[in-house]
Amino acid sequence: MSDPFALFDEWFAEAKASEPNDPEAMALATADLLREPSVRMVLLKEHGPEGFVFYTNEESEKGRQLKENPNAALLFHWKSLRRQVRIEGSVERVSDEEADAYFASRARDSQLGAWASDQSRPLDSRATFEQRFEEMKRRYDGQEVPRPPYWGGYRVIPQRIEFWTDRPHRLHERRLFVRGAEGWSEGLLYP
């Protein structure tokens, strides 16, 4: 199979059937202008040949880093399948229309939480956050919750996708797809 997206679809479907928790969870690695790295878990919300999409507060640490350095790496680790997928590429913001549509599909409390949280900034106490959440509940009582202007999505446009399969005695299989001018090329890597 020389289409990395078809292979990802196959593996992702298997992960959804076998992973006990969050098969869409992926580690997102970013770096700032000083090349200081940072990694955290986010959730895949959409994927296809255009890229891999997640949503967040754009004023968070990851949002700031992606603004400074629009490149990222993703890692899916599906322990139940003994597989990993590594993705590296450039990052672009999704359109406001895409972000609006996804935000509207979220649970109401998640929407309210996006307004209540100053994500990644210092918090003096949990009570402060809970109070802000209650204020948002009152503010939007009886009406739709709009997407905050600082909340949106990012698409990682892959240049490299590696599919890793665990094998006995650390004789793992590593299939690497690299995007070139003519499309995707496939090769193997030593474990």
Tokens of 153: 């999505």
Residue 154 near residue 93, CB atoms below 8 Å: yes
- Shortest CA distance to 36 belongs to which of 74, 65, 13? 65
CB atoms within 10 A of CB 49: 11
Residue in 109, 114, 110, 116 with CA at minimum distance from that of residue 136: 116
| Closest C-alpha to 152, from 90, 97, 189 | 97
Instruction: Give CA angle at 182 (181, 185), nearest 5°.
Output: 100
DSSP 8-state class, residue 174: E
Q: Which of 64, 106, 170, 175 is catalytic?
A: 170
Residues pairing with 81 in the sheet = none
Helix, coil or strand: residue 1: coil
Cα–Cα distance for residue pair 108/106, rounded to 1 Å: 6
Look up 170 and say whether it is catalytic. yes
Query: Catalytic amino acids?
Result: 170
